[in-house]
């Protein structure tokens, strides 16, 4: 049972000092009023706007306060609430509120004077676009929710708050549009989020791993984004978003395989250019996954498939190389991944320069030393460049992981190994159903009406006619919110 607040201010102060023992940042300040009455103000340094606190509740030149310290005066300083329980006072203090105890009252007034310090709204780092909004999420969930609210100014936009973590008590917001969201997806999201039992949630990645459908798969089942416009567009399609306090990334569920190739620019440019870019990404995806494996399979087992002149060029370039093609490819892929990881971990000013120079120097030196062939360096470089064109970073990681088993299969069985690997991947993806939605939907199972935003980006006039008809009123098709 929660301890009740006492009318004796000294008892309240003693209880709170015991609870916050060895906490240097907790601040206790007393105000002595005329007539012997005293007021105790408690807050956590760094979480509270101390300038506003000092200007409104304290006189800068004295610890004495000569006016009438009333509830009305406190409420005029900022949003306030009142409680009679010590534990609730502690919880709200840890969230950045200020507790005000007045001698003789068995309740505490909690004043919302949270500090507004934090990173400003910047341009997206990973999901940059040529056209469209240039704002991204920050680490403050209040700012992130307001960015979405500005784009969807409707009472149907719902933002439900849940506290997760027995120690961190992280604020997680479930975002959806009432009437459009698919109810079974929303209920699953709420059930899985409420089921989380952990000490702390420090980033959205904690939640992603705890609510995903299948853990042992390289494919992401929850979309990650740092752009408010992408969140707004997806929840208008019936999906659900999760905002985590302290994380600049939002989670969108469910995710399908084809959303990997959708970029923000697709919806701000004309549909012809957007469709061309989407097909380009599909081709680059195929290159990033299959090019090294196909090269190894053809040069090792199926050299008859190559034109004669091309075969002579490859054979000449590989003279003196001591390793078979599969070992050569694995070595080059490993070095490329090492350079990419080093470029990320190094300081920004030197990371890109070191990774580029390192790739050039190591590649050239390896070719001159006869350790690897020049065609293999070209193949691995093209593969790395193609992987950068995938808009979803977490999906590009999956392709980077899958490239190695595909190389091993091609080195052991040739094109048959590549075919077996492809069939295995398709079978695995066909079995994935994050939040009840098939991962390959709407291609498998086939839904013709939803193919207008998979391989092509249909014109908006066509989509508008399908959704609203010529009358301009939204059609009730029975598929509202289905993905």
Which structure tokens are listed for 384?
Answer: 């790395």
Task: Please give the pLDDT value at position 478.
Answer: 41
What is the C-alpha separation between 13 and 228, in angstroms, rounded?
Answer: 43
Q: Is 279 left (phi over 0), alpha (psi -120 to 50) or beta?
A: alpha
> For residue 5, what is the DSSP state?
P
Phi, psi of 241 (to 5 degrees): -115, 150
Cβ atoms 399, 286 nearer than 8 A: no
Which structure tokens are listed for 137?
Answer: 């999420």
Task: Please give the pLDDT value at position 129.
Answer: 82
The H-assigned helical ranges of 96-161 are: 141-151
Mean pLDDT by 10 residues, the chain (483 residues): 80 89 87 73 86 66 46 63 88 88 85 79 83 88 91 91 90 93 92 92 91 89 92 92 93 91 86 89 91 91 84 82 87 83 72 65 76 86 86 86 92 93 93 91 84 82 57 42 41
Q: Which stretches does DSSP call E strand in 37-150? A: 38-44, 80-83, 98-102, 108-111
Task: Please give the pLDDT value at position 447.
Answer: 84
H or E element at residue 423: helix 415-431
Cβ atoms 248, 137 nearer than 8 A: yes
Task: Please give the pLDDT value at position 471.
Answer: 39
Question: Looking at beta carbons, which pairs linking 373-378 to residues 24 or more positions away fall under 8 Å?
Answer: 373/314, 373/317, 373/318, 373/321, 373/328, 374/317, 375/295, 375/313, 375/314, 375/317, 375/318, 376/295, 376/325, 376/328, 376/329, 376/332, 377/332
What is the C-alpha separation between 113 and 94, in angstroms, rounded?
Answer: 12
Residue for token digits 């105000």?
Answer: 31
């Amino acid at each position: 049972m929660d301890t009740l607040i006492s009318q004796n201010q000294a008892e309240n102060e003693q209880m709170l000092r015991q609870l916050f023992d060895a906490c240097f940042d907790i601040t206790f300040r007393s105000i002595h009023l005329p007539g012997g009455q005293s007021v105790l103000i408690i807050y956590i340094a760094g979480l509270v706007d101390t300038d506003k606190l000092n200007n409104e509740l304290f006189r800068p030149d004295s610890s004495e306060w000569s006016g009438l310290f009333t509830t009305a005066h406190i409420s005029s300083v900022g949003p306030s609430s009142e409680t009679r329980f010590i534990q609730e006072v502690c919880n709200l203090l840890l969230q950045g509120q200020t507790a005000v105890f007045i001698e003789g009252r068995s309740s505490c007034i909690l004043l919302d004077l949270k500090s507004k310090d934090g990173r400003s709204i910047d341009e997206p780092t990973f999901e940059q676009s040529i056209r469209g909004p240039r704002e991204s999420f920050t680490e403050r969930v209040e700012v992130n929710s307001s960015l979405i609210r500005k784009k969807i100014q409707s009472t149907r936009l719902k933002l439900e708050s849940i506290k997760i973590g027995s120690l961190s008590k992280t604020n997680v917001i479930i975002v959806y549009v009432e009437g459009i969201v698919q109810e079974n997806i929303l209920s699953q999201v709420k059930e899985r989020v409420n089921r989380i039992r952990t000490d702390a949630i420090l980033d959205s990645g904690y939640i992603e791993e705890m609510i995903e459908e299948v853990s042992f798969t390289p494919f992401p089942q929850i979309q990650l984004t740092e752009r408010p416009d992408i969140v707004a567009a997806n929840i208008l399609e019936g999906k659900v978003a999760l905002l985590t306090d302290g994380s600049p990334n939002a989670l969108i569920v469910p995710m399908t395989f084809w959303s990997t190739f959708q970029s923000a620019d697709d919806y701000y440019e004309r549909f012809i250019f957007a469709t061309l870019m989407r097909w380009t990404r599909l081709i680059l995806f195929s290159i990033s996954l299959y090019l090294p494996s196909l090269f190894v399979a053809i040069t090792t087992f199926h050299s008859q498939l190559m034109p004669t002149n091309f075969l002579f060029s490859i054979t000449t370039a590989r003279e003196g190389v001591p390793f078979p093609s599969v070992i050569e490819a694995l070595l080059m892929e490993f070095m490329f991944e090492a350079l990419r990881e080093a470029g990320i971990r190094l300081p920004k000013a030197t990371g890109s320069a070191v990774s580029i120079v390192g790739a050039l120097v190591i590649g050239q030196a390896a070719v001159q030393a006869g350790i690897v062939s020049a065609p293999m360096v070209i193949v691995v470089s093209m593969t790395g460049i193609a992987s950068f064109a995938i808009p979803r970073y977490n999906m590009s990681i999956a392709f980077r992981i899958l490239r190695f088993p595909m190389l091993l299969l091609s080195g052991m069985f040739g094109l048959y190994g590549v075919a077996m690997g492809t069939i295995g991947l398709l079978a695995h993806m066909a079995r994935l159903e994050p939040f009840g939605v098939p991962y390959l939907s709407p291609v498998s199972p086939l839904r013709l009406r939803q193919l207008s935003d998979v391989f092509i980006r249909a014109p908006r006039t066509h989509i508008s006619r399908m959704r609203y008809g010529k009358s301009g009123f939204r059609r009730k098709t029975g598929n509202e919110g289905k993905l």
